[in-house]
Structures are given as structure tokens and as C-alpha cells.
Amino acid sequence: MPNQKKVYVIDDDPILQKIMKKMLFNYNPEIEVALFLHGEEAIRQLKADTVLPDLIFLDINMPIMDAWDFIEAYELLNIPKVVIYILSSSIDYRDIDRAKGIDLIKDYLVKPLRKERLIEICELELK
């Protein structure tokens, strides 16, 4: 299916992963959702994938490779860049300001993500 959309959810919380997968499925059952428990898994997959994701939801605080390390490693990959939304429970202004200073990050979202906001993002990014 050439127009199938792909979304990465990078978060160490399996419950959030399940919720995001269900919400994305409810939005469009044809979206392929890839789940990763930390940034390093996602970087490995980005290097291996022949088809890049259309959208990435990225948690900040994760073991092994957090969001900031992921962004650093991602910027070094010689691949087209994908839209990234931070999805975090952190309301620390330092995290929010840091995210605003990174061009790759489109927006900073605080968990839990409302269904309406997810639909807005999908309408915008997965056209």
C-alpha cells in the first residue's frame, strides 16, 4: 500500500504505547504504528527502514536513550527529517524551552494527549 502512513511512538510506558496505538487505529486503521521503548531502538529502526515514518511522537525521559540523545543521534543520520512531536508528562519549563529551540521538534505536548489534539495532528501531518 504505497500511501500507507507510518507513525513511531517512542515511549518507555507500555500503557501509553497501547493508548496511542488504539487512538491512531481509531483515527485510521491503516496507519502503521511502530512502538519503541527508548530512542536507541528507534534510531536502529530508522537506519534499517526503507520507508521512513511520517510522524514521530517522542517521550523525554526514557532509559538507555532519552529524547535529547535521540534528537542528537537523529540529526546525524543521513536521511530526510520527519516531523517530531514531544509527548511528555514533564511540565518543566526547561524541557519546554529546550524543545522550542530544536527545529526538528514541531510541538511540545503534555500527556495525556487528548483525542481531539491527536486528530488535529494527524490531519495536519498525515495528509
In a domain, 1, yes or no: no
Does a structural domain hold residue 15?
yes
For the stretch 52-103, pLDDT in tens is 999 999 999 999 999 999 999 999 999 999 999 999 999 999 999 999 999 9
Confidence of residue 3 (pLDDT cuts 50, 70, 90): confident
24-61 pLDDT tens trace: 999 999 999 999 999 999 999 999 988 999 999 999 99
Task: Name the domain count of the chain.
Answer: 1
Residue 95 domain flag: yes
Q: Is 104 contained in some domain?
A: yes
Q: The domain containing residue 24 runs over which residues?
A: 6-125
DSSP β-ladder status, 55-58 and 105-110:
unpaired
The CATH number of residue 31's host domain is 3.40.50.2300
Q: What is the dihedral of CA 114, 107, 19, 24, to 10 degrees?
A: 90
In a domain, 121, yes or no: yes
